[in-house]
Every structure is written in structure tokens, then in C-alpha cells.
């Protein structure tokens, strides 16, 4: 059945507040799975089962699909769609409240999902901060949001783009037209692939680094010196030690320099604790 037919059968009206724009073109879901190179040893975590169109395609290839759906109105639809399926595990709960450590023993863990725009940032932060080791994450976002994640500097640069690019390589997989969704959203989508760089996870605590970068961007129109003076008393000296002009704005500073800045701060903390 088509997406619209499934929804009509169970009299489900999609909620704007939950960011519900369901993929309706099975060719797109098949292409996502093809490009994801899923094999019979993979365990996939999906965030936002929706009507199950992507879940169904992934289940044909993967060892197991563990999928999370917050909207319990979809339960009868999904129970019918996956009746008899032995490799689809549906959790009707908020993924953001899930303890990801329970997946630590899964050797080939991957994340693949079309996630609601309004929680995209929270989901990315949760995965990078809390998830056990995973091979990659492939997510569909609104196009503008995806472009911000890949931004290297200037207008689109943000704490999240710095954070994501510190811990992952980011690769564009494909664009998806808004006409492939029900209801049709206002904008097109893009699918990105995130491959973890575990070297940095071991060197830099993700949660603490994220707090630091948010502090650097706390007042975007202010200088980096102004934003850091609350946590670093001799800010100007600290910045010049890593060859940053104290009057620079946060978006003018390259990604690698943020890593240097943070490591320098860690060094200072360690020196204070040891004195």
C-alpha cells in the first residue's frame, strides 16, 4: 500500500507539532538502502519509524532493525505492516530518553533515519555524546539544516557544525525533493552520512567540548574574547597563544583552531588542579 493508503486505513492525520512528513516514494527508500550498503550482519537503529516505508526496506537487508516511534497512534498500522517480521523491533518511546548504553554489545551498529527537523540537533548531540561505537549514521534533514552542518565558516557556521565535524567526516549522499513526502513540506531534503572519528572522542570529552563551543558562540555578534572572558580571566593572552586575533568573531575561526583552543583550556585546567 502507498503511504496515503496506510494513513487513510487507520484514520491517522499527521501532526505538524511532531514534524510528521512521511516519505511516500518507495523508490527513494530503496535508494537510501542501496547507498547505505547494508548487509546481513548490520543492526540498524532508526529514529522515527513513521509509516514504516524505510524500515521495511532496511529489514530486507539488515540482520535487525531497532526502530523508535513516539506517536502511539501508529501502533496498529506498524503492527500490521510488520506482522510476522522476525528482525524488526519497534519501541514506542522517545528516542531522546533512551539509554543508548544498552546497545554497547552490538558489533556492527548503524543509524539510519528520516528525523524530524525540530529535534535534529538534539538527536545528533545525543548520538555523538552518548552512543556506543557505531560505524556510521545516515540521516535525512531539511536541506538548509544539512548545509549548515557541512559549513566550514562564515554565515552558516554554528556550534553544531563545529561539533559534528570534530567527531565525524560528513558526506552528502543525495538530495530528496519535497514532492516525495506526505504531506508535502515547504522545503527539499538532503541525506548526509556521518562517519565517526574516534581519535577525537578519546582525546576530547564530547559533552564538555560542546559546552565550550556553545560558550564561544554565546553572543554571535560579539568577539571571541568577549564570549570567553567569563570562563578565562586572561582571555587575550590565551587567544594570542594559539594565534587568534582577540577581536575575531566566532564564525571567523577555523574548526581546527577550536580544537586547539579547547585543548589549551584543558591544559590550563590540569595545571591549576596540579598546583
Residue 21 marked ligand-binding: yes
| Strand order, beta sheet including 43-47 | 88-91, 64-68, 43-47, 109-114, 136-142, 189-196, 168-176
* Nine-digit cell string for 5: 493508503
Domain final residue pick, 176, 202, 228: 202
Please check whether residues 130 and 230 belong to one and the same domain. no
My answer on whether 190 and 150 are in the same domain is yes
The response to whether 77 counts as a known ligand-binding position is no
The answer to whether 59 and 65 have CB atoms below 8 angstroms apart is yes
CATH code for the domain in which residue 13 is found: 3.40.50.150
Q: How does pLDDT run along the chain (275 residues), one tens digit per residue?
A: 788 888 888 788 877 777 788 899 999 999 999 999 999 999 999 999 999 999 999 999 999 999 999 999 999 999 999 999 999 999 999 999 999 999 999 988 999 999 887 889 899 989 988 999 999 999 999 998 998 888 776 666 788 888 888 888 999 999 999 999 998 999 999 999 999 887 766 677 888 888 899 999 998 788 999 999 888 888 998 898 888 999 999 888 888 888 888 988 877 665 555 54
What whole-number distance in Å separates Cα of residue 224 and Cα of residue 229?
9
Residue carrying the nine cell digits 556550534: 159
The response to whether 19 counts as a known ligand-binding position is no
CA 141 – CA 129 distance, rounded (Å): 20
What is the span of the domain harbouring residue 111? 3-202
114 labeled binding residue? yes
Does 274 count as an annotated binding residue?
Answer: no
pLDDT score, position 75: 95
Task: Tell whether 78 and 28 lie within a shared domain.
Answer: yes
**Pairwise CA distance, residues 275 & 269, whole Å:** 10
94 and 193 belong to one structural domain: yes
Q: Is position 188 annotated in a ligand binding site?
A: no
Domain boundary among 163, 181, 202: 202
Asked if residue 117 and residue 85 are part of one domain, the reply reads yes
State how many domains the chain has: 2
pLDDT given for residue 68 in this prediction? 97
Which of 110, 99, 78 has the alpha carbon at shortest distance from 12?
78
Amino acid at each position: 500500500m502507498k503511504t496515503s493508503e496506510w494513513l487513510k486505513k487507520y484514520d491517522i492525520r499527521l501532526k505538524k507539532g511532531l514534524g510528521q512528513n512521511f516519505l511516500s516514494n518507495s523508490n527513494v527508500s530503496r535508494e537510501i538502502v542501496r547507498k547505505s550498503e547494508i548487509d546481513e550482519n548490520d543492526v540498524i537503529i532508526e529514529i522515527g519509524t513513521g509509516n514504516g516505508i524505510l524500515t521495511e526496506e532496511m529489514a530486507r537487508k539488515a540482520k535487525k532493525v531497532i526502530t523508535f516511534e513516539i506517536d502511539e497512534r501508529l501502533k496498529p498500522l506498524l503492527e500490521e505492516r510488520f506482522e510476522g517480521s522476525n528482525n524488526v523491533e519497534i519501541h514506542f518511546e522517545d528516542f531522546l530518553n533512551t539509554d543508548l548504553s544498552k546497545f554497547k554489545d552490538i558489533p556492527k551498529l548503524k543509524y539510519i533515519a528520516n528525523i524530524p527537523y525540530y529535534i535534529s540537533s538534539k538527536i545528533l548531540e545525543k548520538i555523538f555524546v552518548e552512543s556506543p561505537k557505531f560505524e556510521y549514521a545516515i540521516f535525512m534533514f531539511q536541506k538548509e539544516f544539512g548545509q549548515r552542518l557541512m559549513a566550514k565558516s562564515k554565515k552558516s557556521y554554528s556550534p553544531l557544525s563545529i561539533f559534528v565535524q570534530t567527531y565525524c567526516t560528513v558526506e552528502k549522499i543525495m538530495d530528496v525533493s519535497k514532492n516525495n513526502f506526505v504531506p508535502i513540506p515547504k522545503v527539499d531534503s538532503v541525506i548526509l552520512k556521518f562517519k565517526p572519528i574516534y581519535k577525537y572522542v578519546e582525546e576530547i570529552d564530547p559533552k564538555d567540548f560542546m559546552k565550550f563551543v556553545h560558550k564561544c558562540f554565546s553572543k554571535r555578534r560579539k568577539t571571541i574574547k568577549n564570549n570567553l572572558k567569563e570562563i578565562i580571566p586572561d582571555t587575550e593572552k590565551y587567544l594570542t597563544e594559539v594565534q587568534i586575533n582577540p577581536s575575531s568573531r566566532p564564525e571567523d575561526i577555523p574548526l581546527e583552531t577550536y580544537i586547539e583552543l579547547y585543548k589549551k583550556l584543558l591544559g590550563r585546567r590540569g595545571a591549576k588542579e596540579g598546583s
